[in-house]
C-alpha cells in the first residue's frame, strides 16, 4: 500500500470525526448488489486497459518514445486522445487508417457508456440519472453490465492489435497475421 492511501485509512482525524458523528447519526447505507459492484469494478479496470492501449497506439503513430508518450499524452483527456489518434490515421495505408478511425469512433462510444454507468448514482438501487431536470431510473442487470465490459474488452483487443500492426508492420500486408 502506498503512503497516501495508508495516511487516509489510518487517519486519526477521520476516526475521531466518525466516532463523534456516528454516535448520533445512522445513515441508510447503499444496498448495491455484489454482482453490480463486481461488474462496475471490471468496467473500470477494462476501460483503463483500453485507454492504455489507445495511448500506446497514438504514441506509435506519432513515433513517440516512452518518455515522449508520458510527457505528451500522459495528461491528455480521453476525448482529445481519440482526436489525436484519429488525426494520425490520415497518414496510414487505407485499410489500416480506416480501422484506426473506426477504433476511435468506437472508443468514443465506449467512453460514453462507461461514463453513463460509472458516474451514475447507484446507491438508490437502479441506476439513477438526471435528465431535463428530472430524475429517471434505469435498471441494469449484472449480465447487461458485463456485456458492456465484454465489448470494451473486445475493443481493447482491437487497439492492442492495431498498435502492434503500427509498431511492426507485417511484410505480407495488413491483416495477414
| pLDDT, tens digit, 9 for 90 and up, residues 9-58 | 999 999 999 999 988 888 777 777 888 889 999 999 999 999 999 999 99
Least confident piece of the model among 12-26, 75-89, 120-134, 159-173 = 120-134
What is the C-alpha radius of gyration for the chain, rounded to an integer number of angstroms?
21
pLDDT at position 94: 84
pLDDT at position 32: 79
Residue 81 vs residues 71, 87, 114, 172: alpha-carbon distances, Å:
13, 10, 16, 30
Residue 133 has pLDDT above 80, yes or no: no
CA proximity to 157, closest of 88, 109, 99, 92: 99
Quote the pTM value.
0.80
Amino acid at each position: 500500500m502506498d503512503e497516501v492511501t495508508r495516511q487516509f485509512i489510518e487517519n486519526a482525524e477521520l476516526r475521531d470525526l466518525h466516532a463523534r458523528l456516528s454516535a448520533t447519526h445512522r445513515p441508510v447505507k447503499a444496498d448495491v448488489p455484489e454482482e453490480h459492484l463486481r461488474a462496475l469494478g471490471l468496467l473500470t479496470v477494462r476501460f483503463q486497459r483500453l485507454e492504455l492501449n489507445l495511448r500506446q497506439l497514438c504514441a506509435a503513430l506519432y513515433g513517440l518514445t516512452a518518455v515522449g508518450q508520458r510527457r505528451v499524452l500522459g495528461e491528455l483527456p480521453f476525448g482529445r486522445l481519440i482526436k489525436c489518434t484519429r488525426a494520425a490515421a490520415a497518414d496510414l495505408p487505407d485499410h489500416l487508417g480506416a480501422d484506426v478511425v473506426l477504433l476511435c469512433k468506437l472508443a468514443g462510444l465506449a467512453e460514453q457508456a462507461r461514463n453513463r454507468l460509472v458516474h451514475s448514482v447507484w446507491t438508490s438501487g437502479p441506476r439513477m440519472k438526471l435528465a431535463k431536470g428530472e430524475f429517471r431510473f434505469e435498471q441494469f442487470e449484472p449480465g447487461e453490465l458485463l456485456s458492456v465490459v465484454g465489448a470494451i474488452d473486445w475493443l481493447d483487443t482491437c487497439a492492442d492489435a492495431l498498435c502492434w500492426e503500427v509498431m511492426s508492420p507485417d511484410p505480407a500486408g495488413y491483416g495477414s497475421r
